């Protein structure tokens, strides 16, 4: 997400000493991971299902973060854009906000899809189909674009402050945080909590209707543990990457001391790491994606037509 705290740090001259080699490694990893997801879903027909279209949209957003936002964050620090108000810096900010918000909203859509798949499996195919996904994806990107462009139009990221500058910045920051992060997070937490409760209830029901053997009990216990671990990783990594930055943004105006720009930039980079980790979280958990990745990396798909291959 774009450095929304900038306007409160005009007096600071700190810059972030980013290691270019480490940053380059993050960029390459993000690009390769998301490209694997995109190619897999587009090429293999078995993966042409509504859920994977959402993952494809997420991978596109994260790929663009790696292509556009990562390099720009390396090239231009907070202070360079603060002291050089030009079109390029505003474009950078718009890309940052739009793509990061699109990534978050796509994650939110995936959680909604998982809710219907687990909690309403009998009506899942009728409620989550290609038409519904075809609406969810453009709406997510459109809303993200509105937020990204709206912040720039509202006068945020201006190099010269007027009397009401801090008030306007506070309002813009608060609104951006609410719509780009806090509302989606509340939705995702509520949905995943509901999914866990329903999954646990279903596991208990299965256990009660079986012969109560040790074997079945062990199977149910394993299923519960796997569901718990998966949901914990999904939300844990997301919150670990995003929560520190947005907490800083919200409480920065009320802090006694100004937060150093180096700290803000570090937290901003942490949020971008989520775009690198998403392919591992949302794709590597599934065996068919791992099979697709192996075929792509080994170059097997270039040796013949394997689009109809059965992925295990």
Q: Is residue 294 part of a domain?
A: yes
- Between 113-117, 130-134, 141-145, the lowest mean confidence (pLDDT) is in 113-117
Q: Is residue 310 part of a domain?
A: no
Going 128 to 131 to 133 to 135, the CA torsion angle's sign is negative
- pTM for the model: 0.80
User: Is residue 197 over pLDDT 50?
Assistant: yes
At 71-94, the pLDDT tens digits run 777 665 544 554 445 566 677 777
Q: Is residue 1 part of a domain?
A: no
* pLDDT value for 51: 86
Confidence of residue 19 (pLDDT cuts 50, 70, 90): low
At 136-151, the pLDDT tens digits run 999 999 999 988 887 6
Q: Is residue 69 part of a domain?
A: yes
Question: What is the mean pLDDT of the segment spanning 225-239?
Answer: 72
Q: Is residue 291 part of a domain?
A: yes
Cβ of 308: how many Cβ atoms within 10 Å? Answer: 8
Count how many domains the chain has. Answer: 1
Rg (CA), the chain: 22
Question: What is the mean pLDDT of the segment spanning 34-62?
Answer: 91
Buried-state track 117-130, b at ≥16 Cβ within 10 A, e below 16: bbbeeeebeeebee
Domain range enclosing 118? 6-302
* pLDDT value for 312: 72
User: Is residue 134 over pLDDT 90?
Assistant: yes
Question: What is the mean pLDDT of the segment spanning 47-51?
Answer: 89
CATH number at residue 172: 1.20.1070.10
Q: Give which of 62, 3, 10 is closest to 32, Cα–Cα.
A: 62
With a pLDDT cut of 90, the percent of the chain lying above it is: 13
Angle CA 272–275–279, to nearest 5: 160
- pLDDT, averaged across the chain: 75
Confidence of residue 277 (pLDDT cuts 50, 70, 90): confident
Q: Is residue 311 part of a domain?
A: no
User: Is residue 39 over pLDDT 60?
Assistant: yes
DSSP class of residue 67 equals: I
């Amino acid at each position: 997400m774009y450095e929304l705290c900038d306007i409160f740090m005009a007096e600071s001259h700190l810059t972030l000493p980013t290691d270019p080699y480490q940053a380059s490694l993050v960029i390459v990893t993000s690009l390769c991971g998301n490209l694997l997801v995109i190619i897999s879903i587009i090429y293999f027909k078995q993966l042409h299902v509504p859920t994977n279209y959402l993952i494809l949209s997420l991978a596109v957003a994260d790929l663009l973060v790696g292509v556009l936002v990562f390099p720009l964050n390396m090239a231009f620090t907070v202070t360079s854009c603060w002291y050089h108000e030009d079109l390029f810096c505003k474009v950078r900010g718009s890309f940052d906000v739009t793509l990061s918000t699109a990534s978050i909203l796509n994650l939110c859509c995936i959680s909604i899809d998982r809710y219907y798949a687990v909690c309403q499996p009998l009506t899942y195919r009728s409620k989550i189909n290609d038409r519904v996904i075809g609406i969810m994806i453009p709406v997510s990107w459109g809303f993200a674009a509105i937020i990204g462009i709206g912040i720039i139009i509202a006068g945020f990221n201006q190099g010269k402050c007027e009397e009401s500058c801090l008030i306007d910045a506070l309002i813009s920051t608060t609104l951006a945080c609410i719509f780009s992060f806090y509302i989606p997070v509340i939705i995702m937490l509520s949905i995943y909590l509901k999914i866990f409760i329903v999954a646990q209830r279903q596991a208990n029901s299965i256990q009660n209707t079986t012969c109560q053997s040790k074997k079945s009990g062990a199977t149910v216990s394993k299923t519960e543990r796997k569901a718990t671990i998966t949901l914990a990783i999904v939300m844990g990594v997301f919150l670990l990457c995003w929560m520190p930055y947005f907490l800083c943004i919200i409480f920065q105006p009320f802090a006694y001391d100004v937060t150093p720009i180096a700290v803000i930039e570090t937290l901003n980079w942490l949020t971008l790491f989520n775009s690198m980790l998403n392919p591992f979280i949302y794709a590597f958990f599934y065996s068919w994606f791992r099979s697709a990745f192996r075929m792509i990396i080994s170059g097997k798909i270039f040796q013949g037509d394997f689009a109809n291959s059965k992925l295990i």
